[in-house]
Every structure is written in structure tokens, then in C-alpha cells.
Amino acid sequence: MHDLLRTLVSFGLVLGILVFIHEFGHYIAARWRGIKVDTFSIGFGPALYRWHDRTGTEWRISAIPLGGYVKPHGFEGPEDATEEQKQAWVPGQTFHDKPVGSRALVIVMGPVFNFLFAIVAFTVLFSTVGKMELKNDISQVAVGSAAEKAGIKVGDIITRIGTLNISTPEDVMEIISTHPGDQTTIDVKRNNQPISLPVTVGTTGVGSHAHGLLGVGFTAVPGHPVSVIKALPMGVVETWNMSVKTLQGVWQILSGQRSPKELGGTIRIAQLSGQVASYGFASVLSFMALLSINLGLINLFPIPVLDGGRLFFYAIEAIKGSPVSRRVQEVGMQIGMALIGALFLFSTFNDLTNIGLFHWLFHMGS
């Protein structure tokens, strides 16, 4: 019960903070461009607590903590608004009356704030505890492991697994973990000479709990705190590198190089939140930075419903000089909702499979 409570509390705090940062980006941009903000909600559904500030914005903490939203004044536009809504509009402060550049700025600042948070988080980490790094060369090979059977030796540097290029030890661990029992090849550099070795990935666990195991270790080099002046550019570079690696991972799944089973959803995020909470503040902050990067990138995908979809429509509007037709936007939103819904269901299915729910139900019914 203690672990479950820690997981729920950690998940609520982590997601709540990141959603607040994302929506605060929208809020700040709207206020900057002279747009009144009607509602700022953390979570969806009925409001558990609400209050109004002096500008008239209603701030809410809502019952379902799986996101949030900011509602700019007049966001719905004249075509969709009721007469009552139109009468309540404050001239000069409505979203739909602003130039396309201002509207696009309001939308893009949500993801931008996610990236800014990641930069700040990495800067704090590097200036307080330093950057822990793993050396690329293998420091140990477990006796009887898949690595030993394949002929991998201490000092080797893994450069490729199957068709996937390897740049860091984290790449090795991530790929091997998700391919238990696979027969593949591992390319290593030994004394500056390339060698290709056939390997059968080891397996730990059973059924849906199975994970790949290679049996190698890498040397961890402790980090040293640096000044904020040095940590800030390091934070920018780390945010960029993590963004690139995330996009590469998405492309590898879409192109079939990696299994779609690696996609995780809210349940996996909750699990990880609980786990990192037990490791200390530095681990929590690092996890939040990575999650914030993912949130920013996902929202920039050009899918209607997401921020990226709206930016795509605004780009077309800026080019052609007139808004995208209402019908096209409606169809786009319906397709976007279907895609996001399907992705949510699929990732949730993966999460439930990984925790063994379907395996347990199968044995309960047999």
C-alpha cells in the first residue's frame, strides 16, 4: 500500500507540474498578445477547487489529473460561438480576432515551455550533482551470459545491434531489454578493428514480464558539479540530444526497426514516477526533464487536436491569406481524435500487458 500511495502521489505531482508548465506557456503568450484568458485548468472534469484572479481568469484544479487546458477568450470563433458567448466577448481581447502570428505564438509556447523546463532542470542537475556518464567500452562480461557465449570481451565497444546503430550504453540497454530471446548480430570495435558477432539475447522473467539480457557492464564515471554558467549550455545540449534520440526512437518504431510494444502510456509513466521517487530528488528531476521533452515533442506533431495540428492550419492560413475551411478543420479534428484515442488504447494495452494483467486473467479463467 505504501508503494502504491507513493506511485499515485508521485504521478500526480509529476504530471501536474509538467501540465502546469505547458499550459502556463499558452497563458503567458496569450496575455502577452493582449488576449484575455477565461480558464486555466489543471486536470479535466468537474472542478475540485476554483478561484478567479483580478483579470477575470478562472483557475481550476479538476478531478481527472490526466492533462489540463487553457481557454483563451473567444477561442471558439464566430462560427462556433453561441449568441450568449458573442455578447460576452471583450472587444480587442478575443483569440480569433488576433493576427495568425499571434495565434500561432500562443499555441507554440506550450511546447516551448516544456523544452525550457528541461533546460532549467538539466542546468540545476549539472550545477548541483554533475553529469553521471557511462563509458562506451565494456568493463565486465558476466560468466555464462549471452555476451560471453557470443565472444564479447572486456574493452569492446558495441557499435551496432542488428540494424540499429549504437552511440551510448543506454542505447544498448534499451534495445536489448526489449528483445528477449532474439537472434541477431552485435558489431563491436576491438582494438580499433570492427568485428561482427552472432548472439542470442538472453531472457530474464517469463511471459509478459520477460526482458532481454546481454550480460555486460559499463563503467560509470561520477559527475562533478559545474558552475551555472557552464551548466546552462550543457542543459541546452542535453535537451537537444534527448529530443533527437526521442524522435529517432519514434521513427524506428514507425519504420519497423523497433517493436510498437515499447510504447508506454499513463500507467507506465505512473510506475516510473513511483520508482524514481524512491531514488531521490536528482532522479525525479531528471525523469521530469525527459518527460517534459516528450510532452513538448508529442504536442508538436502535426496532428489535429494537438498543438502541432493547429500550427499546421495556421501555417496554411499564413501562406494562402485566409483560414482553412471549417469543414476541413472539423474532419481533421475528428481524424486527430481517432488517432490519439487509438494511440491511448494501444499504449494502455501495452502497459496492462507489461504488468501481467492479461496473463493473470488468462490463468484465472483457465
Active site residues: 23
In whole angstroms, what is the distance from residue 173 CA to residue 190 CA? 20
Residue type at 156 in one-letter notation? D
Q: In the structure grid, which three cell numbers stand for residue 261, read together?
A: 510494444
CB burial string 219-257: b at 16+ within 10 A, e below: eeeeeeebeeeebbebbeebbeebbebbebbbebeeeee
Cell of 287: 525523469
Nearest to 235 by CA among 290, 174, 169: 290
Count of other CB atoms within 10 angstroms of residue 308? 19
DSSP secondary structure, 193-206, as one string: EEEEEEEE-EEES-
Backbone angles phi and psi of 322, in degrees to 5: -150, 155
Do 179 and 202 touch, CB atoms closer than 8 A?
no
Residue 47, classified by CB atoms within 10 Å of its CB into exposed (0-12), middle (13-18) or buried (19+), is: middle
